[in-house]
Amino acid sequence: MSENNIINSLKIKLVRSLESFGGGVDMVRKIFLLLFKKPDEPANIIKQMVRVGADSVPIVILSSFFTGMVLALQSGTATIRILGYPLFMGGLVSFSMILELGPILTAMVMAGRIGASITAQIGTMKVSEQLDALYMLGTTPEKYLGVPLFIATILMVPVLTLIADIVGVTGGYIAAVTNFEVPGSVYINEIVSYLKMVHVFNGLIKSFFFGFIIVSVSCYMGFTTKGGAEGVGKSTTRAVVFSMIFILVSDYFLSSLLNSLGMV
């Protein structure tokens, strides 16, 4: 491939990327404006909150519990090698879970579970022309589908993150007590002494933005699906991959911003 062909190919990809970004921003703008209007079916919001939140609790608990146990195991082993005794395990586990692992782990799980589900649902409706039928019924896909999904995901991801934090710290407690014979009172006192509410808010603020990223990417990929069943599969894969990439990238900038504001 010649140099000109490579440059032209890069230009085309750049233009398409910018068009996709602009389309995503326009979709979010429309849904944001619709948030202030009366929903078509208020019960649909509750239904989506159950789908996004309650149905995701088991997998969030399972993943965060063993993450907390592994974190305690590794931190205990490291402090023994360095200091000769498993010190500050409560502080290490709680800070790691609440500031970073809790929000990130929950967001990754939700991107894989809910992000893929949202994209597959909307994408299937798009290729089967069900979205066009919504216009005939006097509503829009953004209002009927987008608004409930945005409200449910943005609200429920922080709640799930809080659950993940509690379960992860509990898993660390069990690992510390059983594997290193750390007194439970010492583990808890370290958490009470060093952890503050501002640290909890740090993780919840991150999870709020992560939820926004997941639902925005997933809805846009669903609304722009084309190419039948194969297109639905491709859109679902893109939604999960791009959601995870944007979550990891935004995590750095959010962490830097929150650090500068003294929320660490």
Query: Does a structural domain hold residue 193?
Result: yes
Cα Rg, the chain, nearest whole Å:
22
pLDDT at 3: 63
Query: Does a structural domain hold residue 24?
Result: no
Residue 194 pLDDT class (50, 70, 90 cuts):
confident
Give the pLDDT confidence of 160-178 residue by residue, as tens digits: 999 999 999 999 999 999 9
Query: Does a structural domain hold residue 102?
Result: yes
The answer, as to whether pTM is greater than 0.75, is: yes
pLDDT value at 264 more than 70: no
Residue 83 to residue 77: CA distance in whole angstroms:
10
Query: Does a structural domain hold residue 243?
Result: yes
Query: Does a structural domain hold residue 229?
Result: yes
Query: Does a structural domain hold residue 16?
Result: no
The amino acid present at 23, given as its one-letter code, is G
pLDDT value at 16 more than 60: yes
* CB-neighbour burial class of residue 217 (10 A; exposed 0-12, middle 13-18, buried 19+): buried
Q: What is the largest CA-CA distance in the chain?
A: 71
pLDDT at 2: 61
Residue 6 pLDDT class (50, 70, 90 cuts):
confident
Give the pLDDT confidence of 23-39 residue by residue, as tens digits: 888 888 888 888 888 77
Give the mean model confidence (pLDDT) for residues 125-129: 88
Query: Does a structural domain hold residue 23?
Result: no
Query: Does a structural domain hold residue 36?
Result: no
Q: What does the chain come to in residues?
A: 264
Residue 108 to residue 73: CA distance in whole angstroms:
22
The amino acid present at 118, given as its one-letter code, is I
Residue 152 to residue 141: CA distance in whole angstroms:
16
Residue 208 to residue 92: CA distance in whole angstroms:
24
Residue 205 to residue 113: CA distance in whole angstroms:
21
pLDDT at 166: 95
Residue 98 pLDDT class (50, 70, 90 cuts):
very high
Q: Note the Cα 160 to chain centre separation in Å.
A: 10
- If one counts the domains in the chain, the total is 1
CA distances to 80, 130, 189, 203, 223 from 216, rounded to whole Å, are 45, 20, 40, 20, 11
E runs forming strands in the chain: none
